[in-house]
Amino acid sequence: MTRYSRITGTGSFLPPRRVTNADLAAELGAKGVETSDEWIVERTGIRARHFAAPDVTSSDLGAEAARRALEAAGRGAGEIDLIIVATSTPDMVFPSAACILQNKLGIAGCAAFDVQAVCSGFVYALTVADSLIRTGGASKALVIGAEVFSRILDFTDRTTCVLFGDGAGAVVLEASETPGILASDLHADGKHVSILCVPGNVSGGKVLGDPLLKMDGQAVFKLAVGVLEDAARATLAKAGKTDADIDWLIPHQANIRIMQSTARKLKLPMDKLVVTVDQHGNTSAASIPLALDASVRSGKIRKGDTLMLEGVGGGFTWGAVLLDF
């Protein structure tokens, strides 16, 4: 009997502090950095984002999202035998956010590790979990995207600090006799490291380099539009599907223009494009599971729908997953 994996529950969590563009513009203006709601919306589609309190970590956000996903799946934390956390902003250098989160859920013994593929992280993590379930290495997995990007932003750079937010999303992925995840396609090209990175590290108790996010927005935009279409089409081909089979496109929520461009290239009407970037900003690895959970809980996405998830991020990494929900 062929073994597959299916999503059985989704969950998400946003920090309580909601920061509108007007709020952010006022804070930045006090520091001599000029921006406005109109400027941000026109270029990105973002209207608000959430920032975590100083003592709240990625594993805190991820644990709450995981609890909600477990509740939706009707599973207890003790039933989980695999935890994968996609994050670029872990609680500490080591151990992994996944191990810390595992302890917060009150369980022990199952495999737990992080995946670092920046904004493509959830797509990477979901693909890894699917592979482990298909080969019998796990039966019930928590796959989580969790980020506190507010910690690595340069609030003197208006081209980047207005883009990002904090949050977490999670899914329970279980072994199934019927197909759920249909196909995936993952890629990376390290020659593009410099266009989106945090070029700092810790040595001898000191930060070497620059620990704040750097981005060449135009270069990222040009690369993202092309690779997202390619990954989506490769995934469709692997699954023996076409554009017409996609009920919902859930891209990484980075920039509304990139998202709309990808939808057009896949010949999808804009009402099939899931958009949460306006309220969440770019939450990196958390953006896709956040958007998925919001759409499931609102009733937009229903059982039986075919979803295309796709992400692109620093590395440069990109990928897509096609699944029946």
Write out pLDDT tens, residues 152-207: 999 999 999 999 999 999 999 999 999 999 999 999 999 999 999 999 999 999 99
Tell whether 129 and 103 lie within a shared domain.
yes
Whether residue 157 is found in the same domain as residue 235: no
The residues pairing with 185 across neighbouring beta strands, listed in sequence order, are 320
As for how many domains the chain has, the answer is: 2
Q: Which of 162, 178, 194 is the last residue of a domain?
A: 178
Residue where one domain finishes, among candidates 157, 178, 199: 178
On whether both 204 and 304 belong to a single domain, the answer is: yes
pLDDT at 220: 96
Domain identity same for 230 and 247: yes
Same domain (yes/no): 169, 189:
no
Question: Do 153 and 227 share a domain, yes or no?
Answer: no
Full domain range(s) for residue 267 = 182-324
Write down the pLDDT at residue 49.
98
By annotation, the residues acting in catalysis are: 119, 252, 282
User: What contacts 24+ positions apart, CB below 8 Å, involve 208-211?
Assistant: 211/152
pLDDT in tens, 202-257: 999 999 999 999 999 999 999 999 999 999 999 999 999 999 999 999 999 999 99
Of the residues 145, 178, 211, the one at which a domain ends = 178
- Please give the model's pTM, rounded to 2 decimal places: 0.98
Residues 215 and 152 in one domain: no
Check whether residue 145 and residue 290 sit in a common domain.
no
| Centroid of chain to Cα 59 | 14
79-115 pLDDT tens trace: 999 999 999 999 999 999 999 999 999 999 999 999 9
User: Cα dist. 271→41, 265, 274, 297 in Å?
Assistant: 19, 15, 8, 17
pLDDT, position 1:
83
Per-residue confidence (pLDDT) for residue 115, from 0 to 100: 98
Across the range 11-40, mean pLDDT stands at: 96
- Say which CATH number the domain at 202 has: 3.40.47.10
Q: Do 38 and 137 reside in the same domain of the chain?
A: yes
Same domain, 154 and 291: no
| 160 plus 309 within the same structural domain | no
